[in-house]
């Protein structure tokens, strides 16, 4: 039975433990203890659960470095649409290879569970091949769906075919966003979710001011783009509310719906999320890259909404290093305790994705998805150190050597 002791063990169920140990058997944690056990001494390291990247799009990894940073969200959207049109085959080797490299990079930076949005399901076999647990959100996007029900039924059949029998790569259906999905399609996806009690879904929500404007009164740059794309329909009537209030009105929201971004959320929106015990997945580096501003992270925490973190895709983030995302979260939310931020990147993400029984903390019975981060000897506040930006070269996985 391999055992490790280290300067710090962070179970993420409470205080960090100083000079503590952890034992693993058959890929599960069997004990986490105060006392330093026999076995390998890792010295000045912090042992902690692998991080959870609760929102990314691995299939967009081939766009890395190709979509410029912008001040206008619609510019970013237009560039992505144009770039994706140049790669019509989802199994294009460039797409597949880039996603495979990105999965390797996520693992090398200490990520052990992902929430992966996919329009093509091309990432399912890649995640399985890499043994990276995942909740894949098979994303549907259609503003003028003629038959939302058959579209959803067809997607469900593909989702089930792509899911892994051992439950480590799960596939659910997810709507893209309130400005790109018809009310009928939201309703059909909600019906599908209700029929699959163990699953969770996600929706991009409150990301840009353009979204807020469009949902409020049906105008602005998003309306122009829908018309340009030839998908605008007069059957759609502006809800006249915030995007969160709109999804509440159509009965879409509950705790199994991850609200991704929330940059534009106000106090009433946050109240709606908190009363439903929902989770916001914040992607602070992406938000600033696509020109929608910084997320009000301190307000999320102050309003006691669950917060998970994600990198979003390599079309809007420089890398998939969750420690870099944590460092940006720390910069934007200096008053939030480091432990709270670390919880967002571990147990909160695992819980939001429905994987809390196996991942997110170091507790007996959970799977041994454990990383060890080198910590300089003069560090006294290990939690603060871990949200200050960690280089991949300082991260290793336990139980793999
Ligand atoms: Zn996204």
Q: Which of 362, 357, 364, 358 is nearest to 342 (CA)?
A: 362
Residue 182, sorted as left (phi over 0), alpha (psi -120 to 50) or beta, turns out to be beta
Give 270 Cα–ligand 1 centroid separation in angstroms. 20
Q: Which of 393, 353, 389 is nearest to 112 (CA)?
A: 353
Q: What angle do CA 27, 28, 30 make, to 5 degrees?
A: 135
User: What percentage of the chain's residues is helix, strand, coil (to nearest 5)?
Assistant: 35, 20, 40
What are the angstrom distances between the C-alpha of 143 and each of 137, 186, 264, 377?
Answer: 18, 10, 22, 56
Predicted local confidence at residue 400, as pLDDT: 62
Give 393 Cα–ligand 1 centroid separation in angstroms. 27
Predicted local confidence at residue 401, as pLDDT: 53
Min mean pLDDT across 20-24, 337-341, 382-386 is at 20-24
CA–CA dist 177, 243 (Å, integer): 9
Cβ atoms of residues 384 and 401 within 8 Å: no
Tell me the two tokens of residue 49.
């659960």
Mean pLDDT of 233-262: 97
Mean pLDDT of 202-224: 98
Cβ atoms of residues 116 and 134 within 8 Å: yes
Predicted local confidence at residue 264, as pLDDT: 98
In the block, tokens 């967009």 appear at: 60
Min mean pLDDT across 49-58, 158-167, 380-389 is at 158-167
Give 313 Cα–ligand 1 centroid separation in angstroms. 7
pLDDT above 80 (res 164): no
pLDDT above 90 (res 35): no
Provide the sign of the torsion angle of the four alpha carbons 187, 188, 194, 198, taken in this order.
negative
Give 18 Cα–ligand 1 centroid separation in angstroms. 38
Predicted local confidence at residue 41, as pLDDT: 93
Give 55 Cα–ligand 1 centroid separation in angstroms. 6
- Size of the chain in residues: 401
Give 17 Cα–ligand 1 centroid separation in angstroms. 35
Cβ atoms of residues 16 and 7 within 8 Å: no
What mean pLDDT, rounded, does the chain reach? Answer: 96
Give the E-state strand segments of 94-168 in sequence order: 111-118, 134-140
pLDDT above 80 (res 288): yes
Q: What angle do CA 51, 163, 177 make, to 5 degrees?
A: 70
Predicted local confidence at residue 38, as pLDDT: 72
Give 8 Cα–ligand 1 centroid separation in angstroms. 34
Predicted local confidence at residue 52, as pLDDT: 98
Give 19 Cα–ligand 1 centroid separation in angstroms. 39
Give 233 Cα–ligand 1 centroid separation in angstroms. 25
Q: What is the DSSP string of 317-383?
A: SS---HHHHHHHHHHH-TTS-HHHHHHHTTHHHHHHTT-TTTSSS--TTSB--EEEEE--TT-S-HH
Give 117 Cα–ligand 1 centroid separation in angstroms. 7
Give 212 Cα–ligand 1 centroid separation in angstroms. 17
Cβ atoms of residues 386 and 323 within 8 Å: yes
Min mean pLDDT across 7-11, 110-114, 146-150, 312-316 is at 146-150
Q: Which of 173, 169, 172 is nearest to 134 (CA)?
A: 169
pLDDT tens readout for residues 356-369: 999 999 999 999 99
Give 56 Cα–ligand 1 centroid separation in angstroms. 6
Q: Could you report how far apart the first and last alpha carbons of the chain are, in Å?
A: 13
Q: Which of 101, 178, 102, 170 is nearest to 133 (CA)?
A: 170
Cβ atoms of residues 207 and 287 within 8 Å: yes
Give 186 Cα–ligand 1 centroid separation in angstroms. 17
Give 154 Cα–ligand 1 centroid separation in angstroms. 23
pLDDT tens readout for residues 114-124: 999 999 999 99
pLDDT tens readout for residues 128-144: 999 999 999 999 999 98
pLDDT above 70 (res 36): no
What are the angstrom distances between the C-alpha of 372 and each of 12, 30, 341, 342?
Answer: 14, 17, 18, 14
Give 316 Cα–ligand 1 centroid separation in angstroms. 9
């Amino acid at each position: 039975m391999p055992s490790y002791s280290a300067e710090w063990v962070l179970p993420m169920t409470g205080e960090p433990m100083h000079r503590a140990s952890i034992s693993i058997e058959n890929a599960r944690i069997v004990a986490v203890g105060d006392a330093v056990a026999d076995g390998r001494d890792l010295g000045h390291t912090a042992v902690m659960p692998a991080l959870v990247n609760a929102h990314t799009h691995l299939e967009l990894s081939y766009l890395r470095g190709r979509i410029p940073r912008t001040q206008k969200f619609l510019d970013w959207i237009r560039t992505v649409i144009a770039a994706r049109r140049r790669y019509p085959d989802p199994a294009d080797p460039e797409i597949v290879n880039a996603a495979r490299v990105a999965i390797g990079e996520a693992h090398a930076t200490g990520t052990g569970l992902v929430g992966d949005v996919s329009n093509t399901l091309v990432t399912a076999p890649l995640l399985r091949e890499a043994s990276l647990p995942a909740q894949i959100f098979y994303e549907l996007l259609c503003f003028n769906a003629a038959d939302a029900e058959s579209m959803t039924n067809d997607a469900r059949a593909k989702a089930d075919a792509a899911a892994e029998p051992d439950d480590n790569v799960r596939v659910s259906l997810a709507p893209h966003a309130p400005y790109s999905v018809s009310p009928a399609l939201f309703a059909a996806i909600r019906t599908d979710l209700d029929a699959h009690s163990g699953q969770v879904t996600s929706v991009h929500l409150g990301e840009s001011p353009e979204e807020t404007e469009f949902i409020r009164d049906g105008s602005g740059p998003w309306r122009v783009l829908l018309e340009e794309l030839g998908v605008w329909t007069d059957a759609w009537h502006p809800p006249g509310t915030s995007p969160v209030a709109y999804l509440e009105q159509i009965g879409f929201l509950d705790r199994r719906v991850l609200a991704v971004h929330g940059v534009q959320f106000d106090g009433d929106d946050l109240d709606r999320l908190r009363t439903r015990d929902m989770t916001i997945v914040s992607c602070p580096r992406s938000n600033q890259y696509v020109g929608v501003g910084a997320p009000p992270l301190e307000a999320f925490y102050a309003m006691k909404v669950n917060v998970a973190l994600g990198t979003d895709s390599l079309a809007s983030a420089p890398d998939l290093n969750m420690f870099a995302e944590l460092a940006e979260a720390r910069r934007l939310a200096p008053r939030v305790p480091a432990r709270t931020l670390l919880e967002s990147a571990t147990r909160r993400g695992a819980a939001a994705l429905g994987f809390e029984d196996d991942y997110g903390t170091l507790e007996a019975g959970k799977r041994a998805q454990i990383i060890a981060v080198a910590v300089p000897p003069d560090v006294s506040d290990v939690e603060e150190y871990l949200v200050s930006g960690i280089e991949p070269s300082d991260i290793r996985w336990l139980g793999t050597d």
